[in-house]
């Protein structure tokens, strides 16, 4: 069997994987806090048909070798954590992070999830929660009569309780950051979780110690560049077509060989 068939097959599978990532990016171009991702590839092992630097029968040394690569494979997903655009919503419970950091939320199993989606809501008990009902940490429970909720750049959450004109401070939002945010595990629902690759979270107050500041009344939109994704899609399609053409050419060569 010609090696080119298997090499081109691996190329088609790799480009299909890249197209899967592009499709996912485009599908989430309107998702709050979404971070675009692309597949990362590496070449497969080589068949070493002639070793570089080997001695020949004439006593000379080969300056080059002869190696045949066996194709390509996807090995990782590279996620870009660059800042998305801030979109004004005029909703007092919407909060965007300007800079580094993640909001911390309590998952149903008691573990902590991390998100950049700050489109928060209140549940039936007055708790500040995500769109999926996950409680925002360290925990914010507003009384029924609370009005004029204010979230400062430093994460301080306060409200008014009529008829008292003095704001009452509830809690302060803490952000978390990671040495390697690319190592976080995406779980869907705009949630990431800690892994050994990401390292442990480093928590801190917004707008201090390299943590981003908070912007009330805004949400962070997806950082997907639609034009860039469309260009990458065209490149992926052309690469897929070229690999399929290599398979067709190998098949034609085998047919010629069978006719001899």
For residue 132, the model assigns a pLDDT of: 92
Residue 54 near residue 63, CB atoms below 8 Å: no
Give the number of C-alpha atoms closer than 13 A to the C-alpha of residue 205, restricted to the C-beta side: 10
Residue 236, C-beta contacts closer than 8 angstroms, at least 6 positions apart: 15, 18, 19, 22
Helix axes 226-258, 3-27, angle to 10 degrees: 160
Residue 36 near residue 223, CB atoms below 8 Å: yes
- Partners of 77 in the beta sheet? 39
Cα 145 from Cα 159, distance rounded (Å): 10
Cα 91 from Cα 94, distance rounded (Å): 5
The model's pTM = 0.88
For residue 62, the model assigns a pLDDT of: 76
List, run by run, the mean pLDDT of 10-residue segments along the chain (260 residues): 86 96 96 95 89 77 84 93 92 94 94 95 93 92 90 92 87 94 93 95 91 95 95 96 92 82
Residue 210, C-beta contacts closer than 8 angstroms, at least 6 positions apart: 99, 100, 177, 204
* The pair of three-digit structure tokens given for residue 184, joined into one six-digit string: 């976080």
For residue 72, the model assigns a pLDDT of: 95
Read off φ and ψ for residue 141, nearest 5 degrees.
Answer: -120, 115
């Amino acid at each position: 069997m010609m090696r080119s068939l298997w090499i081109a097959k691996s190329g088609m599978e790799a480009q299909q994987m890249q197209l899967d990532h592009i499709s996912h990016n485009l599908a989430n171009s309107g998702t709050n806090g979404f971070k675009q991702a692309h597949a990362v590839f590496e070449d497969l092992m080589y068949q070493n048909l002639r070793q570089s630097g080997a001695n020949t029968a004439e006593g000379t040394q080969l300056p080059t070798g002869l190696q045949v690569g066996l194709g390509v494979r996807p090995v990782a997903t590279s996620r870009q954590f660059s800042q998305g655009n801030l979109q004004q919503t005029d909703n007092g419970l919407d909060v965007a992070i300007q800079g580094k950091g993640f909001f911390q939320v309590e998952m149903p199993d008691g573990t902590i999830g991390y998100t950049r989606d700050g489109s928060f809501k209140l549940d039936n008990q007055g708790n500040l929660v995500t769109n999926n009902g996950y409680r925002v940490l360290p925990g914010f429970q507003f009384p029924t009569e609370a009005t004029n909720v204010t979230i400062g750049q430093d994460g301080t959450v306060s409200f008014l309780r009529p008829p008292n004109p003095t704001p009452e401070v509830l809690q302060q939002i803490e952000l978390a950051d990671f040495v390697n945010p690319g190592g976080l595990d995406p779980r869907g629902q705009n949630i990431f979780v800690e892994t050994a690759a990401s390292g442990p979270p480093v928590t801190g107050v917004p707008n201090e110690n390299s943590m981003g500041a908070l912007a009330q009344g805004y949400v962070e939109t997806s950082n997907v560049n639609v034009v860039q994704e469309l260009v990458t899609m065209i490149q992926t399609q052309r690469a897929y077509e070229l690999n399929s053409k290599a398979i067709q050419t190998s098949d034609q060569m085998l047919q010629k060989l069978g006719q001899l």
